[in-house]
Structure 1
Amino acid sequence: MLLPANAYVGFRLAFRARFAWLAAGSLLVLILAALLAAQFSGRQPATVAVDIGLSVLRLLLPLAVVLTTQELLSREFDRRYFLNTLSYPHPRHSFLLGRFATVSLLTLGLLLLLAAALALLVWYIGNSYEQATPVALGQHYLITIAFIGVDLLVLVAVASLLAVVASTPSFVLIGTFGFMLVARSFGAIVELLTRNTTVVSDAESYRSGIGLLGYLLPDLGALDVRMIALYGRMELLPDDWPWLLLSCLVYTVGLLGLAVWALQRKRFA
């Protein structure tokens, strides 16, 4: 019962911190970006709208993760609210897991809201102009959104760990976005150096050095499977997608366990 109670408190704090305004602003940015992008394509407006819309999702939602985590965890320690929260005979891990559940549910809920709005917008655009290759807004689109959800769960775990160990809330923003940038890009860099060795001198050693990140970080870039929705071809899904999802979920659990361990050992002044 402690975990739902902490999650409920987290929801109250999130909406007190104007999470609803953050969601409304994200929705407005998404609609404007998708509509304006569709106007620049005379032949494939729906495809361009989906492509740009998914890119906006992958940029806005990590920001929502960071801001919500800062409010629910970092501010808790910065403003010394923990003196009241942790004064009750509750285990510390229930506090952290409750806030993690809150951030995850709010983020995934916002993802579903934005994804539904994007689908309706693309459907409206598709009715006004029939493309030779229509976008797939059924199963293919749902799979794409599910992969984005796994990506966000990893980022929530990273932000939670940083909120526990960092001394300032701003480090949560810097660390989470730095992690996201590296985890989403190193796979593409390795693939580029494998296909074209003339990009840099001594490409082999450079590729080997970057490839070591694959043992330390999840390949979040591979979770971007928008091609199956843009072209309606399930064969564009990575062959190792079950292992990709499993490794990301295991990484999330590992980071969350590390955050719990760090909170148990954390000394409050």
Structure 2
Amino acid sequence: MMRARFASISLWLLVAVLVTAALGAQFSGRQPATVALDLGLSVIRIVVPVFGVLMLQELISREFERKLFLSTLTYPRPRHHFLLGRIAALAALMAIVLCVLAAGLAGITAWIGQAYAQAKPVALGLPYWITIGFIILDVWVILALGTLLAVVASTPSFVLIGALGFMLVARSFSTIVALLQRESWLVDNAETYSGSLNLLSYVLPDLAALDVRMIALYGQMDLLPAQWAWHVGSAFAYCAALIALAAWALTRKRFA
């Protein structure tokens, strides 16, 4: 069902991004373009991973549930080809959808910006598309985790729950640690609490570091995190490790 309605769902996502940006711009008298771009990017970072995980359910989990994979796996080729082909196609589709949404958001932001000259105009050139590239990587990491869950989970619904839970934790734990280091009075035993959260950095990628929208919102490349190359490399490595683990799990999976 999701596959059959892919184009229509993508169109509705584009409408949601454009409407959110246009309405959000009405709440700022001095920086309408900045507010519109900020809200549009926030919507994109929420809806694209959810859409991707739902598609992942259809392409992998539902096929296991409906036994449709039996005909596919009868071909004389390794099992991991089935998995890698589908995740590669889905990753490319999500990148295309994200670029279409980004182009639409850039267009409406430029149109909003014509009505009022801001002191710090948004940067819709290279800084903006660098931001979109980081978001694509963020989505790919979430899809990689969803792929592993789709192979090992017994129910398709667990893929959505697990992937969204992973997304929330990976995007928030470093921000919470930074907040506790600045405002230690917020909770009792803040050092112990932040130390426990820091342990997550050994098992989870810091997806919050991939949100570099500030360079596009204010047009200043020096707002790019100093360790951006490390965050990009670790995200790619984490993504590759999850896909490799999912392929290994599929080769050893026993189907009833």
Tell me the residue number matched to 2:20.
33
Give the whole-Å Cα distance in 2 for the aligned partners of 1:215 and 1:240.
16
Tell me the residue number matched to 1:161.
148
1:95 aligns with 2:86: no
Equivalent residue in structure 1 for 2:229, among 230, 234, 242: 242
Give the whole-Å Cα distance in 2 for the aligned partners of 1:149 and 1:74.
23
1:62 aligns with 2:37: no
2:48–2:98 Cα contact (<8 Å) kept: yes
How far off is 1:88 after superposition? 1.2
Question: Helix, strand or coil: the match of 2:100?
Answer: helix
Tell me the residue number matched to 1:106.
93
Equivalent residue in structure 1 for 2:58, among 71, 79, 86: 71
Paired letter, 2:122: V
Give the whole-Å Cα distance in 1 for the aligned partners of 2:183 and 2:114.
41
Equivalent residue in structure 2 for 1:207, among 186, 194, 197: 194
1:81 aligns with 2:68: yes
- Within a 5 Å distance, the mapping from 1:160-199 to structure 2 comes to 160-199=147-186
Paired letter, 1:27: L
1:30–1:114 Cα contact (<8 Å) kept: yes
Question: Helix, strand or coil: the match of 1:94?
Answer: helix
Give the whole-Å Cα distance in 1 for the aligned partners of 2:62 and 2:8.
19
How far off is 1:14 after superposition? 6.6
Give the whole-Å Cα distance in 1 for the aligned partners of 2:255 and 2:5.
28
Give the whole-Å Cα distance in 2 for the aligned partners of 1:235 and 1:134.
16
CA RMSD of aligned residues (A): 1.0
1:65–1:159 Cα contact (<8 Å) kept: no
Tell me the residue number matched to 2:35.
48
1:14–1:72 Cα contact (<8 Å) kept: no
Equivalent residue in structure 2 for 1:148, among 119, 135, 138: 135
Tell me the residue number matched to 1:22.
9
| Large movers: runs of 4+ above 3 Å | none
Tell me the residue number matched to 2:254.
267
Give the whole-Å Cα distance in 2 for the aligned partners of 1:206 and 1:67.
34
Question: Helix, strand or coil: the match of 2:114?
Answer: helix
Give the whole-Å Cα distance in 1 for the aligned partners of 2:140 and 2:75.
29
Identity %: 57
Give the whole-Å Cα distance in 2 for the aligned partners of 1:90 and 1:34.
47
Question: Helix, strand or coil: the match of 1:146?
Answer: helix
TM-score (norm 1): 0.93
Question: Helix, strand or coil: the match of 1:128?
Answer: coil
Paired letter, 2:161: I
List runs of 5+ in structure 1 lacking aligned partners. 1-12
Question: Helix, strand or coil: the match of 2:28?
Answer: coil
Equivalent residue in structure 2 for 1:121, among 108, 114, 124: 108
1:193–1:199 Cα contact (<8 Å) kept: yes
Tell me the residue number matched to 1:257.
244
List runs of 5+ in structure 2 lacking aligned partners. none
Paired letter, 1:35: A
How far off is 1:159 after superposition? 0.8
Give the whole-Å Cα distance in 2 for the aligned partners of 1:257 and 1:28.
36
